[in-house]
Amino acid sequence: MAIKITDECINCGACEPECPNNAIYEGAMEWRFSDGTELSGNIVTPGGKEYNADEAQEPVDYDVYYIVTDKCTECAGFHEEPQCAEVCPVDCCVPDEDNVESEEQLLSKKDFMHL
């Protein structure tokens, strides 16, 4: 299950540098699959979505920090717990019930991004 950042976010930015996949972005900032990963050019995600990894994508949120679901692995393969949730001072990094994934799926996503 991916992690999401709720509207309770105070925009402190503590979570962003903790993400091993560069899946966390400041509100209104564009994101790329190539940010913090080994991906480049045209890709198909493990979930079947097609992207150009180097092309800027629309922000997911404009007001608060956000997590790109397709890049979030809940830190599987890197840490025991999601690091964003560990460092968030207001506990707004929470499981995203709309994006439930197994440990196997999370590790597959991690391996996809970090060849």
Q: Which domain holds residue 114?
A: 1-115
- The pLDDT tens digits for 20-50 are 999 999 999 999 999 999 999 999 998 899 9
Identify the CA nearest to 104 among candidates 83, 72, 73, 67. Answer: 73
At 76 the pLDDT is 98
Identify the CA nearest to 20 among candidates 71, 61, 91. Answer: 71
Mean pLDDT to the nearest integer, 58-75: 98
Say if residue 103's pLDDT is above 80. Answer: yes
At 106 the pLDDT is 96
Q: In the numeric block, which tokens belong to residue 19? A: 């993400």
Q: Kindly report the CATH number assigned to the domain that includes residue 15.
A: 3.30.70.20
Say if residue 64's pLDDT is above 90. Answer: yes
C-alpha 40/C-alpha 113 separation (Å) is: 10
Say if residue 115's pLDDT is above 90. Answer: no
At 1 the pLDDT is 72
Mean pLDDT to the nearest integer, 63-85: 98
Q: In the numeric block, which tokens belong to residue 114? A: 């970090």
Could you give the percent of the chain with pLDDT greater than 90? Answer: 97
Considering its fold, how many domains does the chain have in total? 1
C-alpha 6/C-alpha 98 separation (Å) is: 13
